[in-house]
């Protein structure tokens, strides 16, 4: 991804005055001069005119340039509303998405997946062994209920680009986790047969490696969407 703010000559609007190798900006003029000569920009209201300082105007110009660049460089796609048997609910402006499905006659499965929240570095394999490969990490909370108001079974999972790993298994009372609830043992320390059985339990419900691959593609797109949203939000605030 391109750096968020590329403060260079090519990224500044053509209207920025240059003189040889010297950049002539209002910011380089004496403070007293531009305090008495504010830049005039019309606000969102058609009835009023707002005056912005050169500092604010410069930020707005840079944000507009970055928005244009990011939009043209890799515009985000419309996020899918479903995957396999799951409905996918995007959370605009938030760092997670929610997935839901029914399994069998009485099971409700709810999943909350974060955006990328970590990574690990692995040595490269194959012909090119120089450097490292980075694998991004997504956290999943998987809640399974059997009927409204019933207790549930919760899973904390790690979704990697090539698979899914269970980290914790715990009980949910009603629709919430009790403050001092026992979160269960470290799954990695359990008997391998039990670990395999737990993975098969989730795989039968569609919580598997294919879901991990889908979520990684989804979050790459959401990351770009949220970047553009953030740039637009900051620009709108400065313009107010």
Tokens representing 216? 């990684």
User: Residue 1 and residue 219: Cα distance in Å, rounded?
Assistant: 14
How do residues 130-187 score in pLDDT, each as one tens digit?
667 889 999 999 999 998 778 899 999 999 999 999 999 999 987 677 777 788 898 9
* CATH number of this structure's domain 82-125+132-221, picked from the four choices 3.40.50.2300, 3.90.950.20, 3.90.1150.10, 3.10.280.10: 3.10.280.10
User: Residue 40 and residue 236: Cα distance in Å, rounded?
Assistant: 16
How do residues 52-108 score in pLDDT, each as one tens digit?
888 999 999 999 999 999 999 889 999 999 999 999 999 999 999 999 999 999 999
* Helix ranges, the chain (H): 31-35, 54-73, 192-203, 209-239
Per-residue pLDDT for 129 more than 70?
no
Q: What is the pLDDT of residue 110?
A: 97
Phi and psi angles of residue 165, each rounded to the nearest 5 degrees, phi first? -130, 135
Numbered ranges of CATH 3.10.280.10 in the chain: 82-125+132-221
């Amino acid at each position: 991804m391109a750096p968020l703010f590329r403060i260079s000559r090519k990224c500044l609007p053509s209207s920025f005055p240059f003189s040889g190798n010297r950049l002539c900006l209002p910011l380089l003029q004496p403070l007293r001069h531009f305090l008495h000569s504010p830049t005039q920009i019309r606000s969102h209201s058609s009835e009023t005119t707002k005056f912005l300082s050169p500092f604010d105007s410069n930020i707005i110009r840079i944000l507009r340039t970055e928005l244009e660049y990011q939009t043209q460089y890799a515009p985000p796609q419309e996020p899918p509303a479903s995957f396999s048997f799951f409905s996918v609910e995007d959370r605009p402006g938030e760092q997670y998405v929610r997935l839901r499905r029914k399994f069998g006659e009485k099971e409700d499965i709810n999943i909350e997946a974060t955006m990328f929240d970590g990574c690990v570095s692995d040595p490269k394999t194959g012909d090119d062994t120089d450097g490292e490969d980075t694998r991004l990490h997504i956290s999943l909370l998987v809640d399974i209920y059997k009927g409204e108001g019933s207790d549930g079974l919760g899973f904390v999972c790690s979704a990697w680009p090539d698979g899914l790993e269970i980290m914790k298994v715990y009980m949910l009372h009603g629709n919430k986790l009790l403050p001092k609830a026992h979160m269960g043992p470290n799954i990695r320390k359990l008997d391998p047969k039990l670990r395999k059985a737990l993975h098969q339990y989730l795989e039968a419900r569609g919580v598997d490696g294919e879901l991990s691959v889908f979520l990684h593609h989804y979050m790459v797109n959401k990351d770009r969407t949220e970047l553009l949203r953030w740039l637009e939000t900051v620009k709108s605030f400065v313009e107010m």
